[in-house]
Structure 1
């Protein structure tokens, strides 16, 4: 019995050492992999998503009539004149003076307002058909890499024959205006119809 006990002890020792080395290698592998996994899903991105969700939850419900009433305010808010256009300045009410800031103001969204791409992609709106447009819905072009070629207008109503429609917008070099447009009615122009999710009617 005694001669056999020594080899068993060595075998047990060898097994314990191999197990310990394997555990150490696994731990090292996990440690090295963790930063790579973190890099694929940055904490900052998660924070941005959660912030956007909080903002959407905070956006009050609004009727279409109230949205249009608010849209009309900027037509004369500048001492009887339209609010001037700017991608960098905010108006006195805290909203950005560009097209998406204006749409955000009309809808009562958090200041200074999501940009055109966010209005389309971040849950503030849902896509609809152009034929389904109702007063207060949005027509958005957001698929351009150049901010100067993105735009959003607030649909107000169809013109006779539905070949064009009236809309409120914040236009470059013009400011706030109520004008006739055919955005989204021509195939391939990049404009599509969207319904704001905070509309209550």
Structure 2
């Protein structure tokens, strides 16, 4: 092989190596695998994350009341017994807030009374604006024994001094009862409208 041929062969080989290197450096790289989703932070027992209400299904007032009625006879024709620690067959807690969560179709086992009031599941309204399916809540106590929530069913008189309601009550279980909680504005009970309710 002549000197010129050797030189041409060397230059061609060098060009090929440099070209291959350049292509390797400029070729698009494969996309990185997406990061695994971060698991949501666990909420305290008996509560849900503050934004859990956003996933709550839309529900009509008639559906809320129809669901509330089911626990009046769900226990073989009798009311579901009250309990702050037990869960009914449908997965909801057997206390007042578990019952309300069931009626509203919220995620099981349901937020507690404080979460129903504070975590975006409801918004405060005036007592005079209560409509069937709305709630009357007392949640300003550090003890669960002094917190309560009932489902408003309608005014019991034209003066609006009492109303009919569904509740899960200690010693009684599920019941439909007349109450005046919140009417005088001094007993810690206030009216709230569930955000997932239609109308």
Give the TM-score of the pair, scaled to structure 1. 0.74
1:117 is the counterpart of 2:122: no
Map 1:13-92 to 2 at 5 A.
Answer: 48=43, 52-92=49-89
- Which structure shows the higher helix fraction? 1
Superposed CA deviations along residues 62-93 of structure 1, whole A, max 9, x for unmatched, are 00000100000000000000000000001000
Q: How far apart in 2 are the matches of 1:159 and 1:173? A: 24
Q: Secondary structure at the match of 1:52?
A: coil
Superposed CA deviations along residues 106-155 of structure 1, whole A, max 9, x for unmatched, are 00000000000000000000000000000000000000111100000000
Match of 1:174 in 2: 172
Unpaired segments of 5 or more residues in structure 1?
1-44
Match of 2:140 in 1: 143
Match of 2:154 in 1: 157
Match of 1:130 in 2: 127
Map 1:178-197 to 2 at 5 A.
Answer: 178-197=176-195
Moved beyond 2 Å, runs of 4+: 45-49
Question: Larger Rg: 1 or 2?
Answer: 2
Q: Secondary structure at the match of 1:104?
A: helix
More divergent stretch after superposition (55-64 vs 138-147): 55-64
Give the TM-score of the pair, scaled to structure 2. 0.75
Q: How far apart in 2 are the matches of 1:170 and 1:47? A: 27
Preserved CA contact (<8 Å) 2:64 2:104: yes
Unpaired segments of 5 or more residues in structure 2?
1-39
Correspondent of 1:94 among 91, 94, 106: 91
